[in-house]
Structure 1
Amino acid sequence: MIKTFLICHMGALGDFLLTLPVIQSLRAALPSHFFTGIGCREHLEIAVRLKLLDHIYDREARWLIPFFAGTEVPDALSHTDGAVLWMPGGESSAEILMKNASMPVVLLPIIPTANIHATRFYFNQISKHYYLRNPVQLPPLFPSSIKRGSLVLIHPGSGSPSKHYSINFYRKLESFLVDRMNCETGFILGPVETEAGLPEKLGHRLIFQPQNLFELSQLLERAVLFVGNDSGVSHLAGLMNRKAVVFYRSTDPGIWKINGSQILVIRSEQEAEAFDKFQEAFAEFLKTSEFL
């Protein structure tokens, strides 16, 4: 019988991407297990592409309702050997899985309860139940990826209005970057930014509106530099090892910093201060990063 390990994540894109190094460590610790994922299908497909999950189920599937209610383990999950669940209020779901599991079922909060980086927090908690080696760098999302980008991409949005500044701030950033980098500069807008009227507010500027995560990933592949806020888009750029400037207005980068090798973090609640910090740090960032 195939031994199955379940990963269930009910959070947002950025939160999920911060779990990937830990899932990679679990996979290395349990090489003979078949890894199944439950969550947002688009998010899970990234883990499939990275060969961290073997099979996935969309969290919207009706047959999962009894599982989320904690009343019944569906047949598709009946051979679960162990699990890690990022499920707020998932105690009853964890309990019914434990009845047939031969290994620990670990229930974790999405928001860390300790003042450490989220990935490290997850790693520490799971290490209490499974022997894990420290996470290593994830493989490329696109192995045949473009080596050098051609675009400067700015994402002015985030999952919460408290995480980003006014659109004027990002216009000012664009002017600053256009004057200093010999690259075409454009804005990434998602459905939330479009509904807020940002295409009209940006006028004739270059705008990209990817329709799904795959299109977004392909666009980010073309980036010589990405500029954004604490958002799922920024976390995806970090996963893809793009050079990135990320602004943290209301969240703590000590907990939510994107995983990436070339990241400039700017933390400030105030727009003017954030821009000043960006100007001061950017020149040095250019010197230490091979942009062009």
Structure 2
Amino acid sequence: MKALVYRMGGLGDSLLVYPVLEILTRKGYEVTVWGNPEYFQLAEKSGFCKKSIFYEPADQFDRIIVFSKNRELLHNHKTIYVEPLPDKRIWIVKYYLKKLNFERESFSEKLKLPFSIEKSDKLCIIHPSSGSQKKNPEPNFFLQLEKFIENCGYKVLYISGPAEKYFNKALFKNSIYLEDITELTKTLLQASLYIGVDSGVSHLSSYLGISSIVIFGPTDPVVWHPIGKNVTVIRDENCQPCFPNICTDRQCLRREKLIEKIKDLFRS
């Protein structure tokens, strides 16, 4: 049996459909993903799909799942369409599984990959940005955070990638640019701690089982929190999610509040 899954989107969007791929594969399907192959190469390495492609395949499939609003895409009697966004506050992974009648199916909360990477003791990787400037705290927050983390005995390494259009490397003394997902994964696996915002890199860190602190601002962690058991989400609960039409003052990303929340995590 063959299955085709269509999902275009960024790294985080792609990772959040990995459980669907895993379940289909466990059910005996040979899974092809039509999306961004860069973001699905880890699904191939973990055995969740056979291959990933960027263009519409010519093959015939027994089952087709399309995560898109476009009801004409791959339209036939075998196609199941899933709206990419839920119409209520529910974790996006649970929403996908419910739409596909996979609610009772289990999935891995840690991505298993054929890499043997030695962790660096007390290495904290910080990803200080995302593809949307609306979700990013001010750079001074990270500089203040860096001082605190170093005082706790950690070495800090900043990472950035092609999505960080607004990333200012000059502000951060110890930073590296990573474009390849496999190299990014191997770098993250060295960390004993990861801190980032709501981004694809944060989703990946959590999925890899790294102890992760993920900062949510205008986006809703109820819907978009990462896969993984070793992740802590921090957010100002007194401020309602408002993405993409964000408020002007962004109280949810106030530097003092975020620093205090992270300090509380270290104290506990």
TM-score (norm 2): 0.87
Report the equivalent of 1:12: 10
For residues 107-161 of structure 1, what are the alpha-carbon distances to aligned partners after superposition, in whole Å with 9 as ceiling and x for unaligned? 112222221101111011100xx68523243451245343565521110101211
Partner of 1:116: 90
- DSSP-derived class of the 1:260 partner: coil
Hey, what does 1:245 align to over in structure 2? 213
1:190 and 2:170 correspond: no
Deviation string 1:205-238 (CA, Å, 9 cap, x unpaired) is: 2111112111111110111100000100000101
Alignment length (residue pairs): 252
User: What stretches of structure 1 of length at least 5 have no aligned partner?
Assistant: 65-73, 285-292
Q: What per-residue deviation string (whole Å, max 9, x for no partner) do you get for residues 7-43 of structure 1? A: 1111221011111123212222x21x22111100111
CA distance in 1, matches of 2:80, 2:121: 40
**Gapped runs of 5+ residues in structure 2?**
237-251
CA RMSD of aligned residues (A): 1.9
Q: Given the alignment of the two structures, is residue 141 of structure 1 paired with residue 107 of structure 2, yes or no?
A: no
Contact map agreement 1:149 1:221 (CA 8 A) in 2: no
Q: Which residue of 2 aligns with 1:41?
A: 37
Identify if the C-alpha distance between structure 1 residues 280 and 144 changes in structure 2 by more than 3 Å, giving closer, same or farther: same
Alignment of 1:1-292 (within 5 A): 3-28=1-26, 30-31=27-28, 33-58=29-54, 61=55, 64=56, 76-77=58-59, 79-89=60-70, 91-96=71-76, 98=77, 101=78, 105-127=79-101, 133-146=105-118, 150-181=122-153, 183-193=154-164, 195-196=165-166, 198-202=168-172, 205-268=173-236, 269-271=252-254, 272-284=256-268
- One-letter amino acid of the structure 2 residue matched with residue 82 of structure 1: R
Larger radius of gyration: 1
Whether the 8 Å contact between 2:37 and 2:52 is mirrored in structure 1 is: yes
TM-score (norm. length: structure 1): 0.80
Asked if 2 retains the 8 angstrom alpha-carbon contact of 1:8 and 1:84, the reply is yes
Greater helix share, structure number: 1
Q: Is the 8 A contact 1:242 1:262 kept in 2?
A: yes
Gap change, CA 1:211 and 1:16, over 3 Å in 2: closer
Matched to 2:53, the amino acid is Y
The Cα shift of 1:197 comes to 5.4
Q: In 1, distance between residues paired with 2:192 and 2:176?
A: 15
Change (3 A) 1:270 1:37: closer
